Amino acid sequence: MPAVKKPRRGSLAYWPRKRAKRIYPQISIYPETDKAKILAFAGYKAAMAHAILVDARKGSLTSGQEISKPVTILDCPPLKVVGLRAYVNTYNGLKVLTETWAKDLPKELTRKIKKKNTKTEKISEIEKNLDKISKLRLLVSTQPRLSGFGKKKPEIFETELGGKDNKEILDFSKQILGKEIAAKDVLKEGELVDVVAVTKGKGTAGVVKRFGIRIQVRHATKKKRHIGTLGPETPSRVLFTIPHAGQLGFQTRTELNKRILKIGEKGEDINPKSGFKRYGLIKSNYVVLEGSLPGSKKRLVMLRAPIRPLKVKLLIPEIRKIVV
């Protein structure tokens, strides 16, 4: 009789299941592009709604008809480029060669940034070592005071610049250093983006909820919501793949190929009269994405250029109405 096999209890793709280091994620992988451009943007999760739009899919049973789609609304105030950082490739990975900061920094960043390097000195150093530099990344700051929930302390993160020529990338970064970037400058309606965010934290959970193992029968002694054994006698240790109780949620997750349905510049067009529940009113730009996103409300969500784009070209959707 053949051996009875079953799938692994829980995916190892999400291992180790630990809490994220910070409340907003860090993107480590970016797609390669030919032109110099910004490859990521960020926005605060405001609410979910459903959009009534015209189905543009060819061959669909509802082609040309109005359909309803669940959508997520992101509050996307403009980001400010506060610095530029150059990396050199070493045996131990990427190492920071030098960095430069913009002259006029927001007041909220004075506590976070202790050292301010002058623009002219450090940029000249970057220009001399263009042959050695392997990566050029922007240092970007959010502007939460322009958001709807009244946060004051901004977040600082890196965004990589696309392109293959370092000189072209440096010239592009010089033009936008110290300036603001809007959502429409990085994103386009109808295109796909990857969403990176930290999920909702749910605290400590047992093995049934955390790994989905089978509940023991009524004849089991002591407990029912536990694993039957910690492993065989050999090897004489507990393997890391054995399910245990522990942290559930508040982990960095990535969802691929989310379609952008709309990019708006005025929050008044989408705000309900009383504002979004547990968020407030959107004051500036906003982005409407198809489907749900990881994380709770007011959490910063990263939008990255797609690393595994679909071959099918998507048209700009015709939205009739967004119902909150």
Q: Is the pLDDT of residue 119 over 80?
A: no
Q: Show the tokens assigned to 194.
A: 């990857």
The pLDDT confidence band at residue 128, using thresholds 50, 70 and 90, is confident
The helix/strand/coil state of 220 is: coil
Tens-digit pLDDT profile for residues 56-101: 888 889 988 999 999 999 999 999 999 999 999 999 989 999 888 8
Arithmetic mean of pLDDT, 2-23:
82
- DSSP conformational letter for 173: H
| Predicted model pTM | 0.90
Tens-digit pLDDT profile for residues 138-194: 999 999 999 988 888 999 999 999 988 889 999 999 999 989 999 999 999 999 999
CATH number among 3.30.1430.10, 2.60.40.2310, 3.40.190.10, 3.30.930.10, domain 79-181: 3.30.1430.10
What gap in Å lies between CA 56 and CA 190, rounded to an integer?
11
What gap in Å lies between CA 306 and CA 192, rounded to an integer?
6
CA-closest candidate to residue 23, choices 303, 306, 307, 294? 294
Q: Of 105-119, 266-280, 295-309, which gets the smallest average pLDDT? A: 105-119
pLDDT score for 4 = 78
> Domain limits of the chain?
12-28+42-76+184-201+245-324, 79-181
pLDDT score for 5 = 79
Identify the architecture of domain 12-28+42-76+184-201+245-324 in CATH: Beta Barrel (2.40)
For residue 79, the number of C-alpha atoms closer than 13 Å in the C-beta half-sphere is 29
Arithmetic mean of pLDDT, 103-118:
70
CA-based Rg of the chain, rounded to a whole angstrom?
24
Contact 145, 151 (CB under 8 A): yes
Tens-digit pLDDT profile for residues 224-252: 998 888 988 888 999 888 889 999 999 99
